[in-house]
A and B are shown apart, each in its own frame.
Chain A
Amino acid sequence: MVKSAYSFATQIEKIEKHIIVVWVDNETGVLARVVGFFSGRGYNIDSLAVAEVDKKKNISRITIATSGTPRVLQQIKLQLGKLVPVHKVADFPSDKKTLMREMALLKVVSSAVKLEKARKVCKKYKYTILDKTKKSFVVEVSALKKEIDELIKKLQPLGLASASRTGVVAMTKGSEVFKQH
């Protein structure tokens, strides 16, 4: 450990995982601004999901799964709030009050026996078979991130050929909403 005048405190702070949701103007370069801010200051993006949510007001919702010390997380929120196209920043606690989901499309290519095994593995999760041939199937799964991690691990020996994931999205439970302004 370097004991220095110009490094941060030597005591190691705990790393927390958070979901940061940002409402932004859907304009050119806005994603680059948000993502560039993270890389420029050395912060982490574990996953990122973004799409327009209000066509009329031209607003996109960006959901960022991130991890950092409490001080870093505080900086992320305050610095994001300073960006001109950002309307609102919300920190979703990853506790029981928040709903979190990630969607994955998984393609399994294998023998008939293994395909059947793979299908059984999927049964544990909420799934839909979207495409099926004699040699393969594509399944859609919507679940928690760790559940998808788990499923992918199980499908790998059974011929998982391709995986596509959306990254986590989140919503608060109950009637409470984060108001945009």
Chain B
Amino acid sequence: MTGAEMVFKALEDQGVRHIFGYPGGAVLPIYDELKNHKKIKHILVRHEQGAGHAAEGYARSSGKPGVILVTSGPGATNTVTALTDAYMDSVPLVCITGQVPTHLIGTDAFQECDTTGITRPCTKHNWLVKDIEKLSSILHKAFEVATSGRPGPVLVDIPKDIQFAKGKYVRPKESKKNSGRADVKFNGKNKDIEAAVELFKKSSKPILYTGGGVINSGPKATQLLRELVSLTGFPITSTLQGLGAFPGYDQQFLGMLGMHGTFEANNAMHDCDLMINIGARFDDRITGKIDEFSPKSKKIHIDIDPSSINKNIAVDLALVGDVKIILEKLILALKKKNPNFINSNKQRIAAWWNQIEKWRKKNSLSFVNSKEIIKPQFAVQRLYELTKAQDVFITTEVGQHQMWAAQHYKFDKPNRWMTSGGLGTMGYGLPAAVGVQVANPGKLVIDIAGEASVLMTMQEMSTAVQYKLPIKIFILNNEYMGMVRQWQEILHDKNYSESYTAALPDFVKLAEAYGCVGIRANKPEELDEKIKHMITVNKPVIFDCVVDKEENCYPMIPSGKPHNQMLLGSKDEEEEEVSEEGKILV
């Protein structure tokens, strides 16, 4: 069997149905073999970065690893942003790159680059295959590494002569039964579980702080989380990546926390006496000022990655392992020790809930609506109201629109929310939507976008048209890089240096040029009707939603401040000057 055949055989044995790629000289033998493998569908993107983000969207919405196939040199370097994005957000990707023939490696050959060298810091692991006899086992190992433990991207670099070479194919050791995720068992002691239950029982101000790890652990983890919340009566907040693990409209849900999180979530994090971190990593956008982060609480940290423990925040009790296994044990221990926990606990945390309700009354996500101009928050709210009856998948770009989407769109299922959190990659949402739609045919997929971000990967509209993927690009168009503008307003004396895009394309005409449908909304009163129109169109749509240019995203924890000192709106902003030190930090 040739190396090129082995690649497809391995993909088939790993259960791969779709690959996202772009051909080129050094992968031609693999592309030549594509025609013999009808089970695998190739999606031709317009730029390799798009292949990477599409594979991310595919992986995050399906729970299966995303697969990328690109050529050497620029093909490989163009995937670097997507690989880094996947590394930061723990998304399983397998990237297969062509490489110049082995005898040309190191000669500065045409389209040669040190692919494994360049991608070493942005993959969990990578391989340069120099021996055909090792190719199949390396490919299987690549899938195992990408999907096990804390998921992430891997890369296999295959020189062209290896693609032609003949060797023996080795099957994967055991076919994976579940969706490709290998479990990491809980290796901790039972007494740690009991210690956690003891902390649960003693706490009068508890809070659950959950993250993307719950979603990565699979649908079972989400169910168990919901069971734990109802069993304990504890309030729950979520990181950006964790949205959807718990219903966004539930009374026990305090909304997202962090820099643009709700007043109640951040204050509860600050004042709690027990913080239960489930699958989150104390990211700097969550903690704010480290020295004053939740000073009075005991902290429990559940994470699959041992290096996440005590990395940013020292914790009192660490439970290292798969979220679903640990939650299962916790629930079991809780039920066994105290079958009537919720009732006995109700009184102990009643005062805490009263306090939370007081914070909630601030209604920190409120905004001043307008009849003249579309407020971006209002646009997201209308989009939510008009689509919530369906099973909707939302992707986003990066910036203000992303935060408004996180604040105002309420998710109730996991794997429905795909956003670039760790790396903050503008241009993520459109190609991600392509991947989501490939994985979920017939479902409504919307990219809530900003006009600046979406122009970075706009070319993938062409991909959407080619494969008849009816994705909806819902652009909150304020003509500014809104988040940059907001920071410049608050921190740089309104010096809007280079954050305005003076020559934007006409998005409706652009849509038509791509062969999809363009819709524009200028006035609040036409919004509903046009959104409804967008949903009913069975084609890709670019929706140009012209919004208030100067709206800021609140609430906001300004730089240099702890959780309990939030800005709630433009009034606060005028009253409080941001310190010189605070300006340094973005």
In the assembled complex, 6 residue pairs joining A and B whose CB atoms fall closer than 8 Å, in A order, are: A3-B560, A3-B579, A5-B289, A5-B561, A71-B310, A75-B311
Given A3-B581, A10-B291, 11 additional A-B pairs, CB 8 A: A2-B584, A4-B559, A5-B284, A5-B287, A6-B284, A7-B585, A29-B116, A36-B120, A36-B121, A79-B307, A81-B307
Q: Is B505 positioned at the interface, with any CB of A under 8 Å from its CB?
A: no
On chain A, the residues within 8 Å of B307 by CB distance are 75, 78-79, 81-82
On chain B, the residues within 8 Å of A3 by CB distance are 289, 560, 579, 581
Q: Looking at the complex, which one of B289, B306, B309, B311 makes contact with A4 (CB distance below 8 Å)?
A: B289
B49 vs chain A, min Cβ distance (A): 22
- Decide: A81 and B117 in contact? CB cutoff 8 A: no
The 5 A-B pairs with the shortest beta carbon distances in the complex, nearest first, are A78-B307, A5-B289, A84-B125, A6-B284, A5-B288
- Decide: B306 and A78 in contact? CB cutoff 8 A: yes
Q: Is A180 positioned at the interface, with any CB of B under 8 Å from its CB?
A: no
On chain A, the residues within 8 Å of B585 by CB distance are 2, 4-7
Residue-wise, chain B 543-564 has the 8 Å CB interface mask toward A (1 for contact) of 0000000000000010111100
- Decide: B584 and A4 in contact? CB cutoff 8 A: yes
B15 vs chain A, min Cβ distance (A): 22
- Decide: B581 and A84 in contact? CB cutoff 8 A: no
CA distance A28 to B134 in the complex (A): 14
Q: Is A135 positioned at the interface, with any CB of B under 8 Å from its CB?
A: no
- Decide: A4 and B581 in contact? CB cutoff 8 A: yes
On chain A, the residues within 8 Å of B149 by CB distance are 82
Question: Which of chain A's residues has its CB closest to B285's CB?
Answer: A6
- Decide: A28 and B288 in contact? CB cutoff 8 A: no
On chain A, the residues within 8 Å of B121 by CB distance are 36-37, 40
On chain A, the residues within 8 Å of B584 by CB distance are 2, 4
CA distance A75 to B305 in the complex (A): 11
- Decide: B290 and A5 in contact? CB cutoff 8 A: yes
Interface residues on chain B, number (Cβ under 8 Å): 32
Q: Is A12 positioned at the interface, with any CB of B under 8 Å from its CB?
A: no
Q: Is B91 positioned at the interface, with any CB of A under 8 Å from its CB?
A: no
Q: Is A32 positioned at the interface, with any CB of B under 8 Å from its CB?
A: yes
Question: Which of chain A's residues has its CB closest to B121's CB?
Answer: A40
- Decide: B120 and A29 in contact? CB cutoff 8 A: yes
- Decide: B582 and A32 in contact? CB cutoff 8 A: no
- Decide: B284 and A2 in contact? CB cutoff 8 A: no
Chain B, range 111-154, C-beta contacts under 8 Å to A? 116-117, 120-121, 124-125, 128, 130, 145, 149
Residue-wise, chain A 1-33 has the 8 Å CB interface mask toward B (1 for contact) of 011111111100000000000000000110011
A137 vs chain B, min Cβ distance (A): 40
Question: Which of chain B's residues has its CB closest to A40's CB?
Answer: B121
- Decide: A5 and B560 in contact? CB cutoff 8 A: yes
On chain B, the residues within 8 Å of A36 by CB distance are 120-121
CA distance A81 to B306 in the complex (A): 9
Question: Which of chain A's residues has its CB closest to B290's CB?
Answer: A9
- Decide: A84 and B124 in contact? CB cutoff 8 A: yes
Chain B, range 296-328, C-beta contacts under 8 Å to A? 305-307, 309-311
| In the complex with contacts A9-B290, A28-B128, A33-B120 CB distance below 8 A | yes
B131 vs chain A, min Cβ distance (A): 11
| In the complex with contacts A10-B291, A28-B128, A5-B305 CB distance below 8 A | no
- Decide: B557 and A5 in contact? CB cutoff 8 A: yes
Chain B, range 367-386, C-beta contacts under 8 Å to A? none
- Decide: B120 and A5 in contact? CB cutoff 8 A: no
On chain B, the residues within 8 Å of A32 by CB distance are 117, 120
| In the complex with contacts A71-B310, A75-B307, A84-B145, A7-B120 CB distance below 8 A | no
B375 vs chain A, min Cβ distance (A): 28
Question: Which of chain A's residues has its CB closest to B563's CB?
Answer: A5
CA distance A120 to B89 in the complex (A): 61
Q: Is A128 positioned at the interface, with any CB of B under 8 Å from its CB?
A: no
- Decide: B145 and A5 in contact? CB cutoff 8 A: no
CA distance A102 to B17 in the complex (A): 55
On chain A, the residues within 8 Å of B128 by CB distance are 28-29
Q: Is A156 positioned at the interface, with any CB of B under 8 Å from its CB?
A: no
Q: Is A74 positioned at the interface, with any CB of B under 8 Å from its CB?
A: yes
Question: Which of chain B's residues has its CB closest to A84's CB?
Answer: B125
A145 vs chain B, min Cβ distance (A): 29
Chain A, range 11-70, C-beta contacts under 8 Å to B? 28-29, 32-33, 36-37, 40
B362 vs chain A, min Cβ distance (A): 21
B212 vs chain A, min Cβ distance (A): 18
CA distance A114 to B316 in the complex (A): 62
CA distance A3 to B196 in the complex (A): 33
On chain B, the residues within 8 Å of A79 by CB distance are 307
On chain A, the residues within 8 Å of B581 by CB distance are 2-4
CA distance A45 to B121 in the complex (A): 18
On chain B, the residues within 8 Å of A4 by CB distance are 289, 559-560, 581-582, 584-585
Question: Which of chain B's residues has its CB closest to A83's CB?
Answer: B125
| In the complex with contacts A28-B128, A32-B117, A32-B120, A7-B305 CB distance below 8 A | no
B262 vs chain A, min Cβ distance (A): 18
Question: Which of chain B's residues has its CB closest to A80's CB?
Answer: B307
Chain B, range 527-581, C-beta contacts under 8 Å to A? 557, 559-562, 579, 581
- Decide: A74 and B310 in contact? CB cutoff 8 A: yes
CA distance A3 to B579 in the complex (A): 10
CA distance A33 to B290 in the complex (A): 30
- Decide: B120 and A9 in contact? CB cutoff 8 A: no
CA distance A78 to B309 in the complex (A): 9
On chain B, the residues within 8 Å of A78 by CB distance are 306-307, 309
Question: Which of chain B's residues has its CB closest to A78's CB?
Answer: B307
Question: Which of chain A's residues has its CB closest to B558's CB?
Answer: A5
A38 vs chain B, min Cβ distance (A): 11
On chain B, the residues within 8 Å of A74 by CB distance are 310
Question: Which of chain B's residues has its CB closest to A77's CB?
Answer: B307
On chain B, the residues within 8 Å of A5 by CB distance are 284, 287-290, 557, 559-562, 582, 585
CA distance A84 to B311 in the complex (A): 20
A59 vs chain B, min Cβ distance (A): 18
CA distance A7 to B312 in the complex (A): 10
